Amino acid sequence: MSKQRLSVSVDSDLIEAVEHAVSRGRTDSISAWVNEALRSKLDHDRRLEALANFISLYESEHGEITPEEMRLAARRARSDAVTVRGAQTARKGATRSRRSIR
């Protein structure tokens, strides 16, 4: 695929992070990293658009998804979730409590 030069202004903290990624061998170059980031963003936007189209089609056939249906779906998803890291132990004096799924 042909390449084209592009000049952009970028926040200095982002440049520093990308230069660090290059120095650690996580990407070949700043250009390669930017190219990958642009592809990821375009893919993400396409997926969001496809999801919006799917929801629109679903709602046109079945009616609008209600807040109650979304709450129940979220509850079901949480109850089916698999923990992939160990439970965190509470720090001494911590007052945070885990909310129960309703």
Residues 28 and 34: beta-carbon distance below 8 Å: no
pLDDT at 1: 84
Residues 31 and 43: beta-carbon distance below 8 Å: no
- In the chain, the percentage of residues whose pLDDT exceeds 70 is 84
The whole model's pTM is what? Answer: 0.66
Asked whether the predicted pLDDT for residue 102 surpasses 90, the reply is: no
**Positive or negative, the Cα torsion across 49, 54, 55, 57?**
positive
Residues 50 and 57: beta-carbon distance below 8 Å: no
In tens, the pLDDT along 34-81 reads 999 999 999 999 999 999 999 999 999 999 999 999 999 999 999 999
Q: Is 91 helix (H, G, I), strand (E, B) or coil?
A: coil
| Rounded Cα distance, 39 and 91, in Å | 41
